[in-house]
């Protein structure tokens, strides 16, 4: 007759629960001792009851077993973290190396190298890519040329304006120099004019005097 399998669930009846705890605890400790002896292993079992009572078993010093467990756990965690970081670094390095090799291969093919491994479709795609690249290069070159032309035209306009300003300044300087030298040039002509006027006046006076003498001579005759 088969033994009925007990359903694992919480025992609500407190006395039965305490009895079951005591029996199962002894059974666990017995199995741990057997495992330690049969397999020559270190075993430690720590149990806290529902009331907080501590029960433990260890094949050696439980403190040594716990310290060994903590050291092993911390070492494994650090080792796992280092392994994970190293694995990620290796994956990133492999990915970057693959991308770099692919870019170098595309660059060589755009230069006309390593074309033997390409089929007709890949060659057509490469041709379209080169043509599109050439169009962009030509457009960029034309933009730079137009930019240089505009800059040169602007510079030429600035030079013409500066030259015109220099001409205007030169003309003003000539006019100012003429104004400054004008009165000095007029002084001799004015003196000459006054001298001629004085001579004409003396001549007219002489003529008048001679007429009076002649008139007096005529009047004084018998």
What six digits make up the tokens of 146?
Answer: 């137009």
Angle between helices 62-110 and 120-219 (to 10 degrees): 60
**What is residue 82's predicted lDDT score, i.e. its pLDDT?**
67
Find the CATH number of the domain harbouring 51: 3.40.1810.10
Phi, psi of 137 (to 5 degrees): -65, -45
For residues 44 and 80, state if they share a domain.
no
Assess if residue 98 is contained within a domain: yes
What predicted TM-score, i.e. pTM, was given to this entire model? 0.34
Most confidently modeled range among 33-42, 60-69, 73-82: 33-42
Residue 37 has pLDDT above 80, yes or no: yes
Domain carrying residue 68: 61-117
Contact 111, 130 (CB under 8 A): no
- For residue range 172-211, list pLDDT tens digits in order: 888 888 887 755 444 444 444 444 444 444 444 444 444 4
Do 76 and 108 share a domain, yes or no?
yes
Q: Is the pLDDT of residue 112 over 90?
A: no
Domain end point (choices 98, 117, 136):
117
2 in a structural domain: no
pLDDT in tens, 2-19: 667 777 888 888 888 889
113-120 contacts: CB < 8 A, separation 24 or more? none
Confidence of residue 26 (pLDDT cuts 50, 70, 90): very high
- Rounded to whole angstroms, how far apart are CA atoms 179 and 188? 17
CA nearest to 21, candidates 13, 185, 208: 13
The domain tally of the chain equals: 2
**43 and 86 assigned to the same domain:** no
* Mean pLDDT in residue range 87-105: 84
Judge whether 90 lies within some domain: yes
pLDDT of residue 46: 92
Residues 67 and 111 in one domain: yes
């Amino acid at each position: 007759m088969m033994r009925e399998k007990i359903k694992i669930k919480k025992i609500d009846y407190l006395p039965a629960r305490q009895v079951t705890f005591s029996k199962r605890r002894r059974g666990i400790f017995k199995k741990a001792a057997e495992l330690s002896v049969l397999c020559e292993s270190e075993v430690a079992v720590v149990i806290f009851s529902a009331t907080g009572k501590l029960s433990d078993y260890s094949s050696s010093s439980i403190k040594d077993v716990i310290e060994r467990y903590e050291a092993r756990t911390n070492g494994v965690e650090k080792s796992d973290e280092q392994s994970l970081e190293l694995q990620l670094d290796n994956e990133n390095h492999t990915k970057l190396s693959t991308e770099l090799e692919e870019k170098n291969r595309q660059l060589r093919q755009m230069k006309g190298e390593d074309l033997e491994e390409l089929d007709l479709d890949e060659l057509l795609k490469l041709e379209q890519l080169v043509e599109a690249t050439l169009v962009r290069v030509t457009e960029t070159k034309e933009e730079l040329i137009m930019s240089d032309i505009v800059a040169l035209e602007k510079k030429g306009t600035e030079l013409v304006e500066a030259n015109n300003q220099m001409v205007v300044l030169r003309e003003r300087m000539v006019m100012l120099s003429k104004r400054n030298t004008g009165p000095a040039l007029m002084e001799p002509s004015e003196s000459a004019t006054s001298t001629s006027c004085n001579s004409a006046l003396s001549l007219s006076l002489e003529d008048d005097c001679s007429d009076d003498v002649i008139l007096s001579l005529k009047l004084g005759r018998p």
